[in-house]
Structure 1
């Protein structure tokens, strides 16, 4: 049975760049995203260029029934997922009183529920084989939740806490769970409003490929969590030495539009 690396959110940003890097290393891939056109293009290009098997599934993972169906189809097709990258997710920016409740509920479904669901389903299979690796993509905001990113920050704090705890549970099972924590990345994630904040002026987005390179290393060989970039590592540790009230004022200023 051929082995595959499954990447969610594979059609853009970190997921897209990870697919390119892993294909170059001759790993077979299962690509999951909502954009059918991009998935089809990636399959044709990667399979031809690197002589690997590339499967794709067009799925909206904020729909939990569709998430379960994705797993069911992979099982029926007898595709063995040796590595899972839970990268799909999205965020929103704005005052909590003004942002869309429907959008935030979908965000929770995608960033939290779907990620947890895929982790559980594939981790059970991996544990039965005593082999497998799962990498969940969290965020710098897992450590320093920002005002105006309230639900997104909370969702990524969940990803980090969830990943670290199950990594400990699975320590002797043959299944390794890691967490990638990027800072600001140059992807379509960022809205024009986000780009006008003090935070994005002071901490410029890094190329998605740079984060993907760190992600590939963590997925294949790493353990624990990885904060990408020294500057982001330093920022993630500020709450340890800064009083919480002062820290929140700093974060609110950073998350506010440039004056």
Structure 2
């Protein structure tokens, strides 16, 4: 019996070591783009002439718009606030010389998509960035304590992704090329209390992206969910950047190097490392009342501090 147990432990230990080795080797693919770009300079232009970015007025959407223009694409900005898009458009035109088209639309509504589709007619759209999104409330809270704006959030976080993808994917398939980035969130990769609807809506984006990639990867189309942790944007009250909390510009530049690394990435090396650490923590800990209260106090205090300093 002792010899059998010894053999069993040896086999189990070998399996654990093998799994760890495979995971380590797979993780290396996220390190290489951090050191040196693995994409040819013409990659993004090869997708098509135009990139469409939703929620393009500021934050991550603004950063994608400017960065893709720098990489040679004309840009379609879609957002609710016309003045913000005008500033982004002027910045793009002055710094890159690329053409810019502005479409004003409120993604909390459902009657906007026929007008968007008409406005995009005649444009060869090679890249779609489904970035627009909203929190139910900036302060984390229990479901029944939050404002009942469920329909607006679902329209903005879920329906925008499906409808914009349907519009753009129809023209990508005949050309056999294209790139669709669905900007989700790390809190969409696990059930996150105090952000119940937001977490669930971002989980939809992850699952939707993976399913579509399986359907269309043989047609030359890349569809990827990008699930960042903290990025300094208006949604996070411009929280101070650090090693983990990236600026929108730094995050976007790095995330564009990760687009061939799978149907879901956390967008940058720091967030990939953080995700591996978080995944080691049992969900029961995140779901405990003590941790929920600590999270609520920490985020509320940070938002209050940021609000007072602006």
TM-score (norm 2): 0.72
Evaluate the alpha carbon distance shift between residue 235 and residue 215 of structure 1 in structure 2; reply closer, same or farther with a 3 A threshold: closer
Gaps of 5+ in 1: none
- Secondary structure at the residue paired with 1:136? strand
Q: CA deviation at 1:204?
A: 5.8
Q: Please, what is the CA RMSD of the aligned residues?
A: 2.5
State the aligned residue count. 247
Q: CA deviation at 1:46?
A: 1.4
- Secondary structure at the residue paired with 1:179? strand
Aligned to 1:214, which of 228, 235, 254? 254
The aligned residue for residue 124 of structure 1 is 170
CA distance in 2 between partners of 1:45 and 1:58 (Å):
18
The aligned residue for residue 134 of structure 2 is 90
Q: Contact 2:184–2:225 (CA<8 Å) still a contact in 1?
A: yes
Q: CA deviation at 1:245?
A: 2.4
Written as runs of structure 1 = structure 2, the 5 A alignment for 1:1-259 is 3-75=49-121, 78-91=122-135, 92=137, 93-101=140-148, 103-190=149-236, 205-219=245-259, 221-230=260-269, 232-237=271-276, 241-249=280-288, 252-258=292-298
Moved more, 108-117 or 19-28: 19-28
Q: Work out which of the two has the higher radius of gyration on C-alpha atoms and give 1 or 2.
A: 2
CA distance in 2 between partners of 1:240 and 1:48 (Å):
44
TM-score (norm 1): 0.85
Q: CA deviation at 1:180?
A: 1.0
- Secondary structure at the residue paired with 1:256? helix
CA distance in 2 between partners of 1:218 and 1:204 (Å):
17
CA distance in 2 between partners of 1:8 and 1:54 (Å):
13
Evaluate the alpha carbon distance shift between residue 214 and residue 145 of structure 1 in structure 2; reply closer, same or farther with a 3 A threshold: farther
Q: CA deviation at 1:123?
A: 1.1
